[in-house]
Chains A and B, each alone.
Chain A
């Protein structure tokens, strides 16, 4: 296990700290270990094993040379599983993340702000689509992933379990939440898996735009009336710590970090990105004329970086466990939309069959066409929101 949390030895083994209890990767590394030990002799020594070893060597060489892994390339099962987990979680975060902001579309205080917010929420749906498509290159289907989200077997970012209580929250989400997401995602543009990296390039461009708009919204409030300024400060006070939690657990307790870094899925540790984010935010808060709710926040000359106060990891764990302020609500709305839309998807599928046309050929307009899901997903298994076992403990480092 890493001592200071900054160095990242390759393959240090999956740490089993407070966050690393039982995740898919825990299962996966267990089965990997088993298959190594329990393999029968002829498989271990026969031509199949040689072939396997050749593939592995080629994969490792490609990673070492910073080449992109593409969908048809051989890849280790664990690499595939890790990517599916992370990309699905990322896609889920985009679509659940529509809710706290959509909450304010119908109350936006000017038509200009309303248009900006609508465009943003639309972009998030679009990001969800890119990411599900990218995940599908790994052999899973969107329907399958959505079922896992709806039944609590896959997660989304912890941040979206916080409520958006005032209009200023829309600005705070743009500035802080999108800011944290960008800090996390920019390195993913160099991720070793090609389709994910390419999706991130598109997503990051749009997210940067959203972040700027959030900042500008807060600035307008901060420079507005006394009541508006107070609204902005209150929102920043409520969103600051949850935004820092978006980077996931501390390095010493992050279950997947080391392996993800060795595979070049991840390029920086959770703590490193979190520090980088704090360093970016401090001067921005100053120019906004707002304060950050951390009395321990101070410049550390020696490190050339800011020191900041302790994060409430207990709260983080509770939110991940499903006990955050909005977990139930977010998942319930997502499930309801899916269930109430079932007849629409069934109709589209039946119509496509009758017309003998693939759904994707329908609605051939130049703009984003209404393409129904080609498959009608099975009934959603009922499960307590967010309480499904086997969730990854990476938290939200998306």
Chain B
């Protein structure tokens, strides 16, 4: 990528220049593609029809949640979390790039669509709130992603390859979210209160995760089965964290659930305005 740029840099400033060396810190990191800047699946055919729409929906989920997590950079409660949250955000961005590239040009799709054209679930666009809100959002989403990607990887459909790579990453994301749910739920009185408020507040955004999404190549019964398993696993984690399973609605008129149709919550437009501003200010430029 940049191999013959930076004349003199390698000779004069360092004993160990070069992209290969730069990967040392995350040698075992599946998200490593982000460093080389090459995430696009070369040779994989572009999808059309329902699979392309599904790729867009899953890609938008990952893109938007990655963006939210990246907003934590420099604000995390402890340095280890600067590393962990950025790590998860990078994994998600890598997934987003693979998925969006299956549907079209990743940058056009990310930067030039308006709010009503985004297909992500509303859960991932929810603002970070305090650390408990971020963790509750991660818990709900990563358990869902692990269930989904495990099935997609095994199913041999159009997303099998992407899912096989992502499933290793989301297992780590889920573990991270579970560990923190336990620490915060079963920590201090204050952290219990915050974690409880967070799981309750986001509950109504979770039904949407299991709306059938055409084009994934899954069995029609899969969403219902995943939802049952998701509820079971969430109940188990919340129970161990001394938290109650929320009892508000997850489906229906008073629960959110229209992100897949391009109906989003109010903070989302502001998030997009920030994300797209620079790209839109220089039409046609390359970066």
Question: A residues near B, CB below 8 A?
Answer: 95, 98-99, 102, 105-116, 118-119, 121-123, 125-126, 128-129, 132, 167, 179, 182-183, 186, 189, 201-202, 204-213, 215-217, 219-221, 224-225, 227-228, 276, 279-280, 283-284, 287, 333, 336-338, 340-348, 350-352, 354, 362-363, 365-373
Contacts and interface: CB of A to CB of B under 8 A. Distances in A.
A344 B2 contact: no
Contacts of A186: 13-15
B94 A205 contact: no
Interface of B is mostly: helix
B79 A216 contact: no
Given A111-B93, A215-B6, A216-B6, A280 B184 contact: no
A363 B8 contact: no
A121 B175 contact: no
Top 10 A-B residue pairs of the complex, sorted by shortest distance between their CB atoms = A341-B77, A209-B22, A347-B187, A347-B191, A122-B86, A125-B82, A115-B34, A102-B73, A344-B77, A216-B2
A60 B278 CA distance: 57
Contacts of A205: 14, 16, 21-22, 24
Contacts of B286: 110, 220, 224
A208 to B, nearest CB: 4
Interface string B26-47: 1011000011010100000000
Interface in B44-98: 63, 67, 70-71, 73-84, 86-87, 89-90, 93-94, 96-97
B6 A122 contact: no
A121 B86 contact: yes
Interface string B268-281: 00000011011100
Contact of A110 (B15, B90, B175, B279): B279
A345 B15 contact: no
Interface string B202-213: 000000000000
Interface of B: 1-2, 5-10, 12-19, 21-26, 28-29, 34-35, 37, 39, 63, 67, 70-71, 73-84, 86-87, 89-90, 93-94, 96-97, 100, 106-107, 110-111, 130-131, 172, 175-176, 179-180, 182-184, 186-188, 190-191, 194, 274-275, 277-279, 282, 284-287
B183 A341 contact: no
A344 B184 contact: yes
Contacts of B74: 98-99, 102, 121, 333, 337
A337 B77 CA distance: 6
24 contacts: A99-B74, A110-B279, A111-B106, A112-B97, A116-B35, A122-B82, A122-B86, A122-B87, A129-B83, A202-B25, A212-B5, A216-B2, A219-B5, A224-B286, A227-B282, A228-B282, A279-B12, A333-B75, A340-B75, A347-B190, A348-B187, A350-B187, A351-B184, A365-B172
Nearest to B77: A341
B80 A367 contact: no
A340 B77 contact: yes
Contacts of A280: 8-9, 12-13
Nearest to A366: B28
A118 B73 contact: yes
Contacts of B25: 123, 126, 202, 206
Interface of A is mostly: helix
A254 B244 CA distance: 61
B217 to A, nearest CB: 25
A106 B17 contact: no
A345 to B, nearest CB: 6
B176 A189 contact: no
Contacts of A99: 74
Given A186-B13, A287-B7, A369 B107 contact: no
Residue among B23, B191, B287 with the highest chain A CB neighbour number at 10 A: B287
A215 B106 CA distance: 24
Contacts of B28: 366-367
Contacts of B24: 202, 205-206
Contact of B39 (A112, A128, A213, A371): A112
Given A208-B13, A228-B282, 19 more contacts: A110-B279, A110-B287, A114-B93, A115-B35, A115-B37, A118-B90, A201-B15, A202-B25, A206-B24, A206-B25, A208-B22, A344-B78, A345-B77, A348-B187, A354-B186, A362-B183, A363-B176, A370-B179, A372-B183
Nearest to B195: A347
Contacts of A109: 111, 278-279, 282, 285, 287
A125 B180 CA distance: 20
A112 B182 contact: no
Contact of A367 (B13, B29, B71, B93): B29
A297 to B, nearest CB: 16
Contact of A95 (B18, B71, B79): B79
Contact of A343 (B110, B194, B275): B194
Contacts of B275: 106-107
Contacts of A366: 28, 172
Nearest to A287: B7
Contacts of A183: 13
Contact of A368 (B13, B63, B80, B97): B80
B12 A276 contact: yes
A106 B35 contact: no
Nearest to A113: B287
A73 to B, nearest CB: 25
A213 B2 contact: yes
A106 B71 contact: yes
